[in-house]
Structure 1
Amino acid sequence: MRSRHVSVWIDAPPDVVYAFAADPHELSRWAAGLAEGSLRPSADGWVADSPMGQVTVQFSPPNTFGVLDHVVRLPSGEEVDNPMRVVAAAPGAAQSEVVFTVRQRPGISDEDFDADIAAVTADLQTLRGILEGQ
């Protein structure tokens, strides 16, 4: 399995970035690769209509460490673990780095892995644009 860390710097404090990115109601505004339209709560997590079909997303519990990990259950039943963090540039800084780890799962071609990386990169750029008011 290969991994690629994709990151973006955002000119906003980490608590602001975390609060926005952790809100499932905001996910469809910036994560086009995952959600088309709003997420709906369910007994198994949050349900989203995605480019892959209906998926279920289970988020890490709220925390003070900037952890935004989430598990996506694909229509096939496969579960994809997505590590994600908001990291302060420095203590008290008003800049944040958002880091998302993209993993090449077994059976995923290099081309599809590259497409996943491109989609995550675009999503993080959208997140930055929203939070920086662009």
Structure 2
Amino acid sequence: MMADPQSAAPQSVHDLGILLVEDDSATRTAVSRMLYDLAVRSVWEARDGVHALELLKQHGERIDLVICDLEMPRMGGLDLLHALRTSGGAPLTDLPVIVLTAHREAETVKRAIAYGISGYLVKPVNKSDLTKRLSFAVQKGR
């Protein structure tokens, strides 16, 4: 997690600071609303991987988890995962990532899993699946 070493890991979904990375504004708005409905601590929104890396530089210590689309302009989700996992900085290499995708193909999911994702959500996302994935990520991080 990207938290201050002295702060505790998130104990519930409500403690999470989440970076949502999605190029489609309608999907980004829908998922963001679900996150606010779940009363997460905070949400940052990025339109692509480049924007996400900028937000991580600015707010990284407050971001506990990333929800990331796979196909985006400029820098897609797999490239973002590669950048995070090879950054050389422990906070980024360990940052939990949930992949948000329209892809159901095994090969795409396998490539994301190879980067150590915490789970994936298939679009369109529903609140029940989102809650399950976030809860699992919190439990795994304890």
Normalising to structure 1: TM-score of the pair?
0.29
Q: State which structure, 1 or 2, has the greater radius of gyration over its C-alpha atoms.
A: 1
Whose strand proportion is higher, 1 or 2?
1
* Highest RCO, 1 vs 2 (Cα 8 Å, sep ≥ 6): 1
Q: In proportion to residue count, which structure has more helix?
A: 2
